[in-house]
């Protein structure tokens, strides 16, 4: 028997301590799936990696949802998510950080951020240098 997304989520939620927050990565999922998970489980934290897709989902889904931006964020996309994003998990340059700060101030907000460091040998990866 195939379990639905809410049943699978509940199994995972029950296996980890309650103080640990889960970010349900909702990229590529239709808004109806996100709504279903929210209504069935009460889960409110979702992650997206495309600013336009995130903005579109935010506009039509319940205001109670907390949106995290995950993945590489381009400076020209910051203003799209600044009015509502709860956390940016992947700030990888001072330029993006400055743009986030500027856009947040325009919205009278503080946007919490996590910094991404590049410590791999792959040149295609993003992030602050360790130095």
Query: Where is pLDDT greater, at 129 or 21?
Result: 21
Question: What confidence score (pLDDT) does residue 7 get?
Answer: 95
- From the list 97, 49, 43, 83, the residue with the least C-alpha distance to 65 is 43
The pLDDT tens digits of the residues spanning 7-16 come to 999 999 999 9
Q: What is the pTM of this model?
A: 0.89
Alpha helix positions (H), the chain:
5-15, 31-41, 51-60, 78-81, 94-106
* pLDDT at residue 1 is higher than 70: no
Residue 125 pLDDT > 80: no
> How much is the average pLDDT of 55-80?
96
Q: What residue ranges do the domains of the chain occupy? A: 69-131
First-last CA distance in the chain = 52
For residues 19-44, average pLDDT: 96
Compute the mean pLDDT over every residue in the chain, rounded to the nearest whole number. 92
pLDDT category at 126 given cuts 50, 70, 90 is: confident
């Amino acid at each position: 028997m195939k379990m639905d997304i809410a049943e699978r989520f509940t199994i995972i939620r029950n296996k980890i301590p309650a103080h640990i927050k889960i970010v349900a990565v909702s990229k590529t999922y239709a808004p109806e799936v996100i709504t279903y998970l929210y209504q069935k489980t009460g889960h409110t934290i979702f992650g997206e990696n495309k600013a336009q897709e995130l903005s579109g989902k935010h506009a039509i889904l319940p205001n109670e949802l907390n949106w995290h931006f995950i993945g590489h964020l381009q400076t020209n996309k910051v203003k799209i998510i600044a009015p509502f994003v709860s956390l940016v998990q992947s700030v990888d340059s001072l330029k993006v950080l400055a743009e986030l700060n500027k856009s947040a101030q325009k919205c009278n907000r503080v946007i919490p951020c996590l910094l991404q460091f590049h410590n791999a040998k792959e040149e295609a990866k993003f992030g602050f240098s360790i130095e």
